Amino acid sequence: MLLEIDEAKEKRDELKNKLVKLVGGKTMFYDIISLLNNGYNYHVLAKVLSIELQTLIIIKEHRNKFPIPHNYKRTIKHQDIMYALFGKKNLSTSRLNT
């Protein structure tokens, strides 16, 4: 029983580490989870953040396994997403400048 729990935790940590590398860091990873929890469409996020859609689908499916830290503040605001969709420059988040 304890061995199974350790194996599950190890798999979860491995998945999290792979996803963090794919999206560009822990901050972006938690931003994506926060945005998905707030109801943002993952197709829109894939376009705005320049991340593969399949990566966002995996994060969406497993987001309940990765709790957001209580002191976390999102770095990507709604206005930044809208500006990125419509092509405005000089965004507060350099990740969205394309």
Residue ranges per domain, the chain?
2-96
| pTM of the predicted model as reported, rounded to 2 decimal places | 0.83
If pLDDT is split at 50, 70 and 90, which confidence band does 96 have? low
Of 62 and 89, the one with more pLDDT: 62
Of 53 and 2, the one with more pLDDT: 53
pLDDT tens digit sequence for 32-72: 999 999 999 999 999 999 999 999 999 999 999 999 999 99
**Residues 13, 38: Cα–Cα separation, whole Å:** 24
Instruction: Give the C-alpha distances (Å, rounded to integers) separating 55 from 8, 12, 42, 72.
Output: 20, 15, 10, 22
Residue 87 has pLDDT above 90, yes or no: no
- The answer to whether the beta carbons of residues 40 and 81 sit under 8 Å apart is yes
Give me the residue label for tokens 């990566």: 55
Residue type, 44: V
